Amino acid sequence: MGAARDIGPRILVTGFGPFPGAPVNPTEALVAQLTAAPPRFEIPCTLRMAVLDVDYATIATQLSAIGRDFLPDIAIHFGLAAESCGFRLERLARNSHAGARPDQAGGLPASERICAGPPTLSSSLPLDAIAAALRGHELPVEWSDDAGGYLCNTVFALSRAGVCDGLDPAMSGFVHVPIAGEGPQFRLTPAALRHGACVIVQTCLRQWASGRNAS
């Protein structure tokens, strides 16, 4: 396992399990698909997929456990926004639990502030390039400056603040997706969701490689 971890940048892809109002989370299925059939990219890399529990009390511990074991260079976090029309690229994380809703265990955050750090933290994913790449594959894209008041924003903030053990990636950010399924009532099929996630990873890999070559 040690040798495999030395192949290219280490990329963490996360989704979430179910939460109140969403007994089925498409990002959990996405992670399962990527785990069962890991994609191959033109630039060598080491992928780690993880499903996070929707739990305020343990979310930082979950991220720290992954961080200590994997030390990701790039972290791409996915979450559900049922009202989104496609791949919603989040520009900003708020360092606040304002508007928090109960998690899967019925719990609420212990404090309003998520972690030490500034009030807002910007995504360091190459969002413009990601948007162009997704559109090039005829996949829907939208933008957001508000990742919400739930665990999605919490993970986004923790990942960008670098406050979890081993989780201080050079490049990280958050992407919301709609419920995926077959039929006209769904904005994305499961295949399109997987394809879009791979496009995002590939775009981040290219950005990583171009930065390494420039230096």
Counts for the chain of helices (H) and strands (E), in that order = 5, 8
- Quick check: is 42 catalytic? no
Chain mean position to CA 50: 10
Q: Which of 45, 90, 164, 204 is catalytic?
A: 90
Q: Which of 77, 97, 164, 176 is catalytic?
A: 176
Instruction: Order the strands of the 10-16 sheet from edge to edge.
Output: 46-52, 10-16, 74-80, 171-177, 87-90, 141-144
Count of CB atoms within 10 A of residue 215's CB?
Answer: 5
What is the per-residue pLDDT across 57-66, written as a single tens digit (0 to 9) for each? Answer: 999 999 999 9
Whole-angstrom Cα distance, residue 16 to residue 58? 13
The interaxial angle of helices 151-161 and 59-70, nearest 10 deg, is: 40
What is the per-residue pLDDT across 79-126, written as a single tens digit (0 to 9) for each? Answer: 999 999 999 999 999 999 998 999 999 999 989 999 999 999 999 999
- Quick check: is 90 catalytic? yes
Average of pLDDT values for 173-179?
Answer: 97
What is the per-residue pLDDT across 178-206, written as a single tens digit (0 to 9) for each? Answer: 999 999 999 999 999 999 999 999 999 99
For residue 148, is pLDDT > 80?
yes
What is the per-residue pLDDT across 114-132, written as a single tens digit (0 to 9) for each? Answer: 999 999 999 999 999 999 9
Place of tokens 């790449």: 133
Q: Contact 15/79 with Cβ under 8 angstroms? A: yes
Q: Which of 28, 45, 152, 164 is catalytic?
A: 152
